[in-house]
């Protein structure tokens, strides 16, 4: 059995690599184990909120993300028939954050930037093609079972962080309950290079579009528009992604005489779940391994980055013996509490607001949004919630 005298991070995605980088910058030896043969350039999250940018700035990553991405200084609620209903200006947060905007960029840009900085640091490494299938632990160490091309190997370490996604082998192996629910509806997300901004009047980079028949979300990132649709029937995934099916949905937004230039499409289930604990002995959870939520509002990845920074603060202090071991329990309690009280609550509210099918109720919601956006005090309070600033103290940022 091999032994690593440091922290092993299971999962080389954006959250795992950010966690590892934050630890390595605090002089904690760290090793990342990733199942894939290389960094995965997947189309997933694309929104980075103000407090996340503050945290990334502390790691030396924010400037690069901002330079590569799009600055979204407005948030729009629209109606498929009426167009713009209400617009919120992130400039109202200028006294609350040095980044009063969102940055729109695919999450693999963060993973790549974190990886490049991480491997340049002493005591840090990333190993690919290392799928972790199980973990055991005692009072002194955690022991990982890793599958390799040549067979199975065991690796022990004083601490392990599970950042291995919603189906986390670490969480399953430790029998940590993943409490919550799964939505009946699925989502279909489509990526296209079609310039919606040239066809829809006064379009922002972040748009939530209500409609009694089929609502959708329209998000822009560099070179792409991402469209998220609800799937409210039992159509098989393979049928949902057929060219004709995708084309029909897109033509319903803007009718054009030629096929849409679609570069990616995928359906997925939506969950609202939080782990019963983010700590079990020498093992800690972060990101989707600890919590998953409705993607409306872009809070999943952002919450994972917040986990990464808070966990690195706690674990580096314990590692260097400047903080007691109980700081790891505090991390678990704090981050789990925020996931339940703020992230889960806000994403449920986001989903309920955009999916309202009753015409009278939808009109009432739209009028309330108009009134809120028109009142600077109420608009700021709203933006504090949807930007994930509410619930975080200055010490967490």
HEC profile of the chain: CEECCCEEEECCCHHHHHHHHHHHCCCCCEEEECCCCCCCCCCCCCEECHHHHHHHHHCCCHHHHHHHCEEECEEEEEECCCEEEEEEEHHHHCCCCCCCCEEECCHHHHHHHHHHHHCCCCCEEEECCCCEEEEEECCCCEEEEEEECCEEEEEEECEEEECCCCCCHHHHHCCCCEEEEEEEEEEEEEEECCCHHHCCCCCCCEEEEECCCCCEEEEEECCEEEEEEEECCCCCHHHHCCHHHHHHHHHCCCCCCCCCCEEEEEEEEEEEEEECCCEECCEEECHHHCEECCCCCCCHHHHHHHHHHHHHHHHHHHHCCCCCCHHHHHHHHHHHHHHHHHHHHHHHHHHHHHCCCCHHHHHHHHHHHHHHHHCHHHHHHHHHHHCCCCCCCHHHC
Instruction: Look up tokens 């919603």; give the residue.
Output: 166
Tell whether 188 is covered by a domain. no
Report pTM. Answer: 0.94
Tell whether 52 is covered by a domain. yes
Per-residue model confidence as pLDDT tens for the chain (397 residues): 899 999 999 999 999 999 999 999 999 999 999 999 999 888 778 999 999 999 999 999 999 999 999 999 999 999 998 899 999 999 999 999 999 999 999 999 999 999 999 999 999 999 999 999 999 999 999 999 998 777 899 999 999 999 999 999 999 999 999 999 998 889 999 999 999 999 999 999 999 999 988 999 999 999 999 999 999 888 898 999 999 999 999 999 999 999 999 999 999 888 999 999 999 999 999 999 999 998 888 899 999 999 999 999 999 999 999 999 999 999 999 999 999 988 877 777 777 778 777 888 888 999 999 999 999 999 999 999 999 998 776 556 6
Question: 48 has which bridge partners?
Answer: 103
Domain carrying residue 11: 2-70+105-179+272-353
CB-count exposure of residue 294 (10 Å: 0-12, 13-18, 19+): buried
What span, in angstroms and rounded, lies between the C-alpha atoms of 289 and 336? 12
What span, in angstroms and rounded, lies between the C-alpha atoms of 84 and 21? 41
- Can you give the CATH number for the domain in which 335 is found? 3.50.50.60
What span, in angstroms and rounded, lies between the C-alpha atoms of 268 and 188? 7
pLDDT at site 393: 62
Tell whether 57 is covered by a domain. yes
Tell whether 207 is covered by a domain. no
Structural domain tally of the chain? 1
Tell whether 88 is covered by a domain. no
pLDDT at site 353: 72
Report the Cα–Cα distance between both ends of the chain, in Å, rounded. Answer: 39
pLDDT at site 273: 95
Which residue in 245, 218, 241, 214 sits closest to 230, CA to CA? 214
Structure tokens at 209: 């579009």
Tell whether 184 is covered by a domain. no
What span, in angstroms and rounded, lies between the C-alpha atoms of 236 and 241? 9
Tell whether 296 is covered by a domain. yes
Tell whether 232 is covered by a domain. no
């Amino acid at each position: 059995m091999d032994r690593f005298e440091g922290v092993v991070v299971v999962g080389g995605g954006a959250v795992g690599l950010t966690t590892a980088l934050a630890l390595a910058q605090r002089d904690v030896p760290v090793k990342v184990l990733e199942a894939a043969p290389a960094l995965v350039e997947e189309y997933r999250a694309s929104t980075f909120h103000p407090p996340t940018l503050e945290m990334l700035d502390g790691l030396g990553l924010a400037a690069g993300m901002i330079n590569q991405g799009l600055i979204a200084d407005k948030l729009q609620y629209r109606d498929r028939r009426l167009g713009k209903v209400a617009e919120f200006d992130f400039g109202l947060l200028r006294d609350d954050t040095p980044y009063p905007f969102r940055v729109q960029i695919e999450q693999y840009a963060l993973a790549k930037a974190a990886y490049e900085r991480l491997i340049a640091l002493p005591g840090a490494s990333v190993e690919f093609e290392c799928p972790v299938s199980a973990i055991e632990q005692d009072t002194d160490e955690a022991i990982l079972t890793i599958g390799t091309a040549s067979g199975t190997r065991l690796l022990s370490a004083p601490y392990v962080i599970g950042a291995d996604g919603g189906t986390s082998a670490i969480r399953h192996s430790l029998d940590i309950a993943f409490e919550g629910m799964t939505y009946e509806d699925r989502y279909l997300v489509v990526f296209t290079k079609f310039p919606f901004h040239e066809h829809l009047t006064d379009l922002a980079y972040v748009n939530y579009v209500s409609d009694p028949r089929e609502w959708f979300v329209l998000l822009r990132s560099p070179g792409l528009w991402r469209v998220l649709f609800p799937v409210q029937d039992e159509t098989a995934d393979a049928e949902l992604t057929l060219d004709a099916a995708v084309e029909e949905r897109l033509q319903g937004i803007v009718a054009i005489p030629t096929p849409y230039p679609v570069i990616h499409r995928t359906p997925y289930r939506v969950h609202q779940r939080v782990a019963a604990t983010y700590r079990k002995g020498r093992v800690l959870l972060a990101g989707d391994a600890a919590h998953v939520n409705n993607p409306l509002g872009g809070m999943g990845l952002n919450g994972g980055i917040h986990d990464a920074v808070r966990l690195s603060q706690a674990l580096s202090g314990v590692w260097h013996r400047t903080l007691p071991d109980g700081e790891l329990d505090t991390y678990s309690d704090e981050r789990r509490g925020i996931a339940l009280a703020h992230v889960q609550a806000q994403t449920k509210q986001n989903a309920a607001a955009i999916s309202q099918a009753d015409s009278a109720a939808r009109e009432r919601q739209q009028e309330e949004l108009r009134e809120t956006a028109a009142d600077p005090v109420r608009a700021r309070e709203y933006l504090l919630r949807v930007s994930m600033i509410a619930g975080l103290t200055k010490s967490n940022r």
